[in-house]
Structure 1
Amino acid sequence: MSHTVLPLLVGLRERLRFHAGLGMLGVLGLGWFPLASLLHLVLPARLGRPLGRRAIRFGFDVYLRWLSLIRACRFELDALDALRDGGPLILVANHPCLIDAPLILSRLPDVACVMKTALMRNPLFGGAARLARYVRNEPSVGMVLTAVENLRAGSHLLLFPEATRTVAKPLNRFTPSTALIAQRAQVPVQTLIIETDSAFLCKGWPVFRQPRMPIRYRVRLGERFDPPGDVAEFTARLEAYFTRALAESAMAPPVPCP
């Protein structure tokens, strides 16, 4: 009997963990997104921007702590704390899964995140991003100018140079956006290496497909690059650096999605 019952109990426990994680995300989102949409309409940017960014940091921090508490995930994010008071930086990271941005945003209080314009326009989810004055990824010229404006105001800027979640091993081709912004703003580029042992929420993974748990996530600081002179050369050098870093990683993300 025990040989039959024990796997059922283990499966039930894992299912409860999975849905408890999704449930908490829903509670946090439904509690903040409508209010953020309203606040975006009534607050000026000088008030809405810091409020929106700190609320996002707080919400993601609560969410990740919850995932740790129910033992759905294990996080190693302490390296990010060294960036908190270090002045404006362009933060660039590889992009294996949907949780990448929350990992970073949960530790830093003033980050301008470059987001897809379609998400910014979403009537529900986009309210929080609009309140935080995140940067739309198009049109390209507007994205560069808005990103530079945020850096000159002292914010960090978060970019995923693959433009979307990784679908080619080890990385998608990098776009030149990072180099263009760094060149214009004359701000250093800090690389962040995101590592995980799971393909959960990679490109093509259904949201309600349960993974094996606990999932490990780690973000470590990579090399810091000076502002570039040549955009094409810098983009190639940045892509080559991430390729080497992931090849040497003991926990390289399993992409493309199985």
Structure 2
Amino acid sequence: MMETIQNKSNKSFNYYWRLFATGLSFTVFGLGGIVLGIIFFPILLMIPNKKICRKIARSAIQKCFFFFIEFMRMMGVLSYQTQGFDKLKQRRGLLIISNHPTLLDVVFLIAFLDDVDCIIKKEIFKNPVMMGVVRAAGYIANDAQNPEELIMNCVDRLSNQTNLIIFPEGTRTQTGRGYQLQRGASNIALRAQSPIVPILICCTPPTLRKGERWYNIPPQKMHFSLSVQSDFPVLNYSDSNAGIAARQLTIDLTRYFSERLPNE
């Protein structure tokens, strides 16, 4: 009886500690973003050479994201393991696609991938705190009203040997709906003829999903697993009509993720 009460007490303490530590982690992240966004990154924008500005900015963001992940790990909020990221260090011009189960996915990917491009909501470029960050890093604005320009911007970055992260679902995976990929990533890959490198992300127990708040923490510490997969062949689709090829590639990528990941 006493042992049962003690176990419940330990579980309760662990839960409330992780709740506190999660809130503290996101507070640190937010405050750090404000300080860097108002002071450091606007100064970077004064560098005349945009390539140097981007390189410094992306390196700073990568280090900050890695610190954030390690802070959460040391606080007992999460654990993680990665596989295969080393084999991407010397490769450029890659279209890196991933499933999107949680709020932290882009943080993990940027933390473990060097000098990568990504697509950011257009509204962030107007945010007074974040605009300096995303502009210094040279990220791509997601202009939903002009998808053709967005695709060409992405193709241009890949052609210039930049690695680009895309979540083909367009948003976090919606529980119960499975993997519903949009055609944008396929169109970009086919036009640029860039290698597609899938990365599989799993989070157990599921948390920080679409519609969940930061305080909706799971009963146990969340564990992230990120695994870099072999290239997905693009040349197999080159002989088809562009629209048909993009549609078929999207179908095959959807099947690829569905077969290798838990049913969301």
TM-score (norm 1): 0.87
* Paired position in structure 1 for 2:119: 114
Look up the SS of the partner of 1:124 in the other structure: coil
Q: How does 1:9-28 map to 2 (within 5 A)?
A: 9-28=13-32
For 1:68 and 1:53, the matched residues in 2 are separated by: 22
For 1:55 and 1:98, the matched residues in 2 are separated by: 20
* Paired position in structure 1 for 2:36: 32
For 2:28 and 2:83, the matched residues in 1 are separated by: 23
Give the counterpart of 1:239 among 219, 238, 254: 254
C-alpha contact (below 8 Å) 1:36/1:131 kept by paired residues = no
Shift of 1:41: 4.3
- Alignment partner of 1:198 is 2:205: yes
* Structure with the greater alpha carbon radius of gyration: 2
Relative to structure 1, the CA distance from residue 86 to residue 51 in structure 2 (aligned partners, 3 Å threshold; closer, same or farther) is: same
Aligned length: 249
Look up the SS of the partner of 1:18 in the other structure: helix
Give the share of equivalent positions with the same residue, in percent.
Answer: 22
Q: Deviations over 1:176-207 (max 9, x none)?
A: 11111111211110111110113322111013
Q: Unaligned regions of 5+ residues in structure 2, if any?
A: 239-244
Q: What one-letter code is carried by the residue in structure 2 that aligns with 1:25?
A: F
Shift of 1:37: 4.8
Relative to structure 1, the CA distance from residue 168 to residue 68 in structure 2 (aligned partners, 3 Å threshold; closer, same or farther) is: closer
Shift of 1:77: 2.0
Look up the SS of the partner of 2:231 in the other structure: strand
Relative to structure 1, the CA distance from residue 99 to residue 9 in structure 2 (aligned partners, 3 Å threshold; closer, same or farther) is: closer
Shift of 1:147: 1.1
C-alpha contact (below 8 Å) 1:116/1:137 kept by paired residues = yes
Task: Output the aligned Cα RMSD.
Answer: 2.3
Relative to structure 1, the CA distance from residue 198 to residue 12 in structure 2 (aligned partners, 3 Å threshold; closer, same or farther) is: closer
- Alignment partner of 1:95 is 2:100: yes
Shift of 1:70: 1.5
Task: Give the ranges of 4+ consecutive aligned residues of structure 1 lying more than 6 Å apart after TM superposition.
Answer: none
Give the counterpart of 1:6 among 6, 9, 30: 9
Q: What one-letter code is carried by the residue in structure 2 that aligns with 1:244?
A: E
TM-score (norm 2): 0.85
Look up the SS of the partner of 1:157 in the other structure: strand
* Paired position in structure 1 for 2:47: 43
* Paired position in structure 2 for 1:64: 69
- Alignment partner of 1:149 is 2:156: yes
Q: What one-letter code is carried by the residue in structure 1 that aligns with 2:106?
A: A
